[in-house]
């Protein structure tokens, strides 16, 4: 089974062009499923629907969330569909399995006051401080993902036109507008920060760590955690919080849903529509607080 898992992951990379993080997630789910089959001495080529259901039940018993169980089932279904189409198994045991219903949680967003507090400008002019300020401004100005931010190159940003080029899931290219504040922060960082962090001209990454190399996703998450503590915001702020806030604030101010979908890089507009629920919820909160007969 391990051989077929590797072939399947290669298929996801080469033929479907999925992102590395997505492929890693599929591989992790399938490896755990394989370990379970070995422990239970089950033949992966002769599985039936009930045996897969028992595995999902075990995940629930281990305290896995509905979203995690649903994702694991998606990985298993996709894998067996691949095996069936390749002729490696006579019957697809996961074909008729329905994914468990997952309650959609509204994404956490910061209000404008919290955003201003998080993006507050300090008097620190060190290269690291200039970099962090530029990164935070870019994340809120564009709503791009963490993986998209850390892989940005200097040439991906056109400050004269005010556009940023990034590569989303499936390596799909898109252009996102940059606001004036983010442009100013980037200009200052490029002039006085990045040049001092850069150790080699061969490194083209826009945001560098203190070693002069490309900043990692883990490094960015750590920066956010530390900065959120300093600002004392009573919300668990992550890089993705900025993405949610970006989309919500655009829609609250009359942006077209299709335009927001394009800027976020969502393949399906139904993914973007979650933010319309956020805006309705916040409108309800404002009404309840402000209307005398609410």
Q: Which residues are catalytic?
A: 145, 169, 240, 243, 266, 275
Contact present, 279 and 294 (Cβ < 8 Å): no
**Alpha-carbon gap, residue 117 to 115, rounded angstroms:** 5
* β-bridge partners, 205: 153
- Tokens 């390596």 — which residue? 171
**Alpha-carbon gap, residue 24 to 180, rounded angstroms:** 37
* β-bridge partners, 164: 157, 176
Structure tokens at 16: 């479907």
Contact present, 88 and 4 (Cβ < 8 Å): yes
Secondary structure element (H or E) that encloses residue 177, with its range: strand 173-177
- Three-state SS string over 31-52 comes to HHHHHHHHHCCCCHHHCCHHHH
Torsions phi, psi for 176 (to 5 deg): -130, 135
């Amino acid at each position: 089974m391990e051989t077929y898992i590797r072939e399947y992951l290669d298929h996801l990379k080469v033929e479907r062009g999925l992102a590395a993080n997505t492929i890693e997630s599929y591989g992790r789910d399938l490896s755990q499923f394989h370990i379970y089959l070995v422990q239970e001495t089950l033949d992966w080529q002769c599985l039936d629907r009930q045996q897969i259901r028992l595995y999902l039940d075990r995940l629930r018993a281990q305290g896995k969330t509905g979203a995690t169980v649903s994702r694991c089932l998606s990985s298993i279904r996709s894998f067996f569909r691949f095996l069936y189409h390749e002729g490696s198994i006579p019957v697809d045991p996961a074909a008729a399995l329905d994914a468990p219903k997952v309650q959609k949680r509204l994404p956490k967003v910061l209000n404008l006051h919290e955003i201003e507090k998080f993006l507050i400008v300090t008097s620190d002019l060190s290269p690291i401080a200039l970099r962090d300020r530029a990164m935070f401004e870019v994340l809120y100005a564009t709503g791009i993902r963490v993986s998209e931010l850390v892989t940005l190159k200097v040439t991906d940003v056109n400050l004269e036109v005010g556009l940023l080029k990034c590569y989303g899931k499936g390596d799909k290219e898109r252009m996102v507008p940059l606001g004036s504040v983010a442009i100013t922060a980037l200009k200052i960082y490029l002039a006085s920060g990045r040049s001092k962090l850069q150790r080699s001209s061969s490194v083209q990454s826009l945001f560098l760590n203190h070693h002069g190399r490309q900043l990692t996703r883990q490094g960015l998450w750590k920066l956010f955690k530390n900065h959120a503590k300093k600002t004392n915001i009573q919300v668990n702020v992550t890089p993705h919080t900025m993405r949610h806030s970006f989309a919500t604030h655009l829609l609250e101010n009359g942006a077209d849903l299709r335009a927001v979908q394009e800027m976020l890089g969502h393949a399906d507009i139904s993914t973007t529509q979650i933010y319309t629920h956020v805006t309705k919820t916040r409108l309800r909160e404002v009404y309840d607080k402000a209307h005398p007969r609410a």
